[in-house]
Amino acid sequence: MEASELRALKRFFPCTDTRMKIKRGDHVVGRYSVLPFYKEQAQDVEHAGALLINSFSQHRYVADMRNWVEDLGDLTPKTWYRLEEVNSRGPFVLKGCTNSRKFDWKTHMFAKSKKDAGDVMWRLMQDALIIGEDQPIYIRKYVPLMKLMDGINGLPVSKEFRFFVCRSQVLCGAFYWSNYAEDLSRVPSVSEVPESFLEEVIDLVGDRVEFFVLDVAQKEDGDWIVIELNDGQMSGLSENDPALLYSRLRDVLVGRPETKPPSSSNPREWAIRACNNHPAYVDGFAAGKSDAALLILERALLEGMDRELAFEALLGELVKRSS
């Protein structure tokens, strides 16, 4: 983490560089520190009686595009999961399920044809970042975007923006290509992104993950498209102001007045979703650990649920699943 971001973070959150200092009841944001062993990190935090902002299942939802691509449909480029499934002539872009080699655009990402896609896939299979983390390689339909300039190795620098989202609320947004901002005569304004488009996307995925980034871009035809989702804990700032990000994240997590209730105000529906998102707590309750129910209930209170109704619905769902 850069010093300027760390200074901003410390203005709004207590910080530690070791899990040993996490205390019972803490709500933990593992900024740049939860990979590669996310599941083990989440278990350690839970063992301390605390909560990681994204459960392991929530993290996996955004870390593997195969999950959210299906939910977004036509709002994101067509994606294939095996080269032999591709039924288009191209062009394509190829990437790991989480990471890409976009700065090696011509050799490790862009492919004009299906044959070229095979060559790019072979190169990615030799790449330590992609294969070293055991990432499956996906093929996406190349969608021409509103290009601002050509970057290194022919990388098209487009009108793209990164938004940080927590509990279905946009915390902040800014131009994505921070590497090239100084090379442009004018940096596009985030206000150009239609709020209605962001709301449509967040309505589809916001219940699946607590804290995430949403990268969107404008196509050549003027429409908008989702480029990527990822875990907010591990995503870089782009041109976002860290003070704005962390101040608004704090406000959401501590339940300031602008915090919205969950999309479903029905306690029963909330309890089902909570148990689906936190299977480890369900297992803990079944094993006789009463703390498990309290940990899920804490999330309900932070989301604005009525304590008595949430507890009754949660207890019923936990008993049902553990019997």
Domain assignments of the chain as residue spans, ordered by start: 1-72+144-259, 78-141, 261-323
- One digit per residue, the tens of pLDDT, for the chain of length 323 reads 888 898 889 888 888 988 888 888 888 998 988 888 899 988 999 888 888 999 999 999 998 899 999 999 999 999 999 999 999 888 999 998 877 888 889 889 999 999 999 999 999 888 777 775 678 889 999 999 999 999 988 899 999 999 999 999 999 999 999 989 999 999 999 999 999 999 999 999 999 999 999 999 999 999 999 999 999 999 999 999 999 999 899 989 876 434 344 444 567 776 777 677 666 666 666 666 555 565 566 555 545 556 567 777 777 777 777 76
Q: Which helix (H) or strand (E) holds 94?
A: strand 92-96
Alpha-carbon distance of 114 to 94, in angstroms, equals 11
* CATH number for the domain whose boundaries are 1-72+144-259: 3.30.470.20
Helices (H), the chain: 3-12, 38-47, 56-63, 65-72, 105-108, 114-124, 128-132, 195-205, 242-253, 267-277, 279-286, 291-302, 307-322
pLDDT at 296: 61
**Euclidean distance between the first and final Cα of the chain, in Å?**
45
Q: Which amino acid is at 234?
A: M
Topology, domain 78-141: Dna Ligase; domain 1 (3.30.1490)
Domain 1-72+144-259 matches domain 78-141 at the CATH topology level: no
* Strand 27-28 versus strand 51-52 pairing type: parallel
Strand locations in 103-191 (E): 110-111, 137-141, 147-150, 156-158, 160-166, 169-175
Q: Are 124 and 118 in contact (CB under 8 A)?
A: no
pLDDT at 128: 78
pLDDT at 109: 92
Angle at the Cα of 155 from the Cα atoms of 152 and 157, rounded to 5 degrees: 105
pLDDT at 32: 87
Burial class (CB in 10 A: 0-12, 13-18, 19+), 85: exposed
pLDDT at 164: 97
Which has the closest alpha carbon to 131: 105, 101, 160, 152? 101
- Joined together, the tokens standing for residue 65 give 């595009």
